[in-house]
Amino acid sequence: MRGRFDPIMKTARTFTAVIALLAFQTLIAAEKLNVLFIAVDDMNNDLACYGHPTVKSPNIDRLAKAGVRFDKAYCQFPLCSPSRTSIMTGLRPDVTRTYDLDYHFRKHLPDAVTMSQLFKNNGYYAARVGKIYHFGNPGQIGTNGLDDEASWTERINPKGRDKNEENLLTNHTPKRGLGSSLSFQRAEGSDEEQTDGIVATETIKLLEKNKDQPFFIAAGFYRPHCPYVAPKKYFDLYPIEQVPAPKGPFDEIKNVPKAATSFCTPWPWYGVTEQQSRESLQAYHATISFVDAQVGRLLDAVDRLGLTEKTIIVFWSDHGYHVGEHGLWKKQSLFENSARVPLIIAAPGTAKGQVSPRTVELVDLYPTLADLAGLPAPANLGGASLKPLLEKPDAAWDRPAFTQVWRGSFPGHSVRTERYRYTEWAHGEQGAELYDYQNDPKELNNLIKDPKHSKTIAELKDHLKKNWANEYTPGNIKRKGKR
C-alpha cells in the first residue's frame, strides 16, 4: 500500500518545502535594513582613523572599525548646497543646476525622487534632525533652511546655546559674515546645551520611538562649520602651544592658474596673523572632537536598542576644508583638501574594520543605500553602488571622481584617479593643473607643462570631456541655467 502513495507523499513533501522556503524568504524580506545617515558640516579628513597625528576622534574611529573607511572619497562640488543636493538626489550639479547657496533643485527637477524619499515611498519612516540639505550656518539654525519637505516624514530643527550666545564669539575676521569667518567660542555648559548636542538627543529619541519599524533617520550636525563653537573641555584637548601655524611661503601657488585660488584668498587669509590662524585651527579641531562625542552618543544608542545588526550607518561630510594648505582656509577650491571627504559605511553582512583604497564619490551613496536595502533606485543616478567595495574593499574599481566649482563666469572641472588629479579652468582657457599624489601628496608641483606626462594629461582630459560632454563645450563656458 505504501508504494501506491509514495508519489503523493513526495509531492506533498516538495510542496511543504516550497511553502517553507517562501515563508523564510518573506520573513527575510520583512526584516528591512534601517539607515542611520550621519552628516557633518565642513569636516575634512583631520581624524585619527585617517592618520591625523593629534586630532582625537575615538567614536568616528570606532565606527571605522565596524565598517569600511573610504580613503579616497570626493564630493561633487565643494560648497554646502550643491554638494548636499547632489548627495540627496544622486545627481551631479549640472543635472540639478545647483551651484550656489540659494537655488532649490525642485525648481528644475520637481519630480525628482530623493534618497530619503525613496525609502519613505517604500514604507520607511524618514526623518531629519538638523542640517541635511543646505541651511545657512549659523544664520538659519533652528529653521527649515533650504530643506526639501517631500523628502521626510518628520523634520526637527534644533537650536542651542551656541546660536543664542553669538555675541560671545571671538572673531578674527570681523568684516566677514559669521558663516565664512574665522571665529570661535570656548563655550560654557554641557554638550547637550549646544545645537549639535540637541541634534544627538533628538536623533536618539527618534531611534527609540521607531526601533520596531524600518527607518531612514538622518542626523545633520552643524559643526565643525564656523563659528567654531564647542565646550571648553574640547579646546583643552589641543594646547595652543602644540597647534601648528600654516607653513609658508606657499611658493607653489605661483605655478597654478589664478582661478585655482581666487575664491579662497591665499595667505594671509583676510589679514589674520599666524597666532590667529593657530587659534582658529585649535578651535576647528576642538569642534571636530565635540562632534565626534555626539556621534558616539548615537552609536551607543544603536547598540543599546539592539539595532546594530539591522542598521546601515553612514558617516559623511559635505566637502573637505582647507586649514592652511597652499595658504588657504575653508573650501571652494579643487585641491585635495577641499574636494576630499571622510566617508565611512558600516552595514550588516559587509566588511568590518577595513579600508578601501578605491576612488569613490558622494554621489555613489544613493545607489549604494538603495542596493543594500533592496529598493528600486531611479535609473538616472550619477553614481554607482559601492556594495562590491563594502564586501571586498580592494576589489577592482575603474571609476574616477569628478569635482567642479564656479568662478563667476566660467567653471572649473577636476578628475581624480587613484594616482592623479587633473583640473581645467574654463576648459583650459584659464589654465590647467596636474598633480601626481604618488610622488607629490601635498600638491607642490603642477606638472601640466611637463612633457613626460603628456599621455596622462590626454587620458584625463578625455575623462573630463566624456563626463561633461552633454553640459559644456569649450565654446560655451557660460553657466547653464543661469538665474
Catalytic machinery residues: 80, 134
Query: Per-residue b/e over 114-148, b at no fewer than 16 CB within 10 Å?
Result: bbbbbbbebebbbbbbbbbbbbbbbebbbeebbbb
Query: What's the CA gap between 483 and 465, in Å, rounded?
Result: 25
CA 309 to chain centroid? 24
Residues listed for the chain? 483
Cell numbers describing residue 423: 583640473
Using CA atoms, how far residue 417 sits from 67, 155, 360, 401, in Å, is 23, 38, 9, 7
Query: For residues 377 and 112, is the Cβ–Cβ distance under 8 A?
Result: no
- Give the chain's end-to-end CA distance (angstroms, integer): 86
Cell 536623533 sits on residue:
203
Residue 96 and residue 110 in contact, taking contact as beta carbons nearer than 8 Å = no
Alpha helical stretches, state H, 305-364: 336-339
229, β-bridge pairs: 185
Q: Are the C-beta atoms of residues 308 and 324 closer than 8 Å to each other? A: no
Buried b (16+ CB within 10 A) or exposed e, 286-318: bbbbbbbbbbbbbbebbeeeebeeebbbbbbbb
Report whether 100 contacts 81 (CB < 8 A). yes
Q: Quick check: 414 and 402 in contact, CB under 8 A? A: yes
Beta strands 125-130 and 154-156 are parallel
State how far the Cα of 216 lies from the Cα of 124, in Å rounded to an integer: 6
Amino acid letter for position 27: L
Burial class (CB in 10 A: 0-12, 13-18, 19+), 166: middle
CA 434 to chain centre: 24
Q: The C-alpha cell of 53 is what?
A: 597625528
Q: Name the DSSP class of 107.
A: G
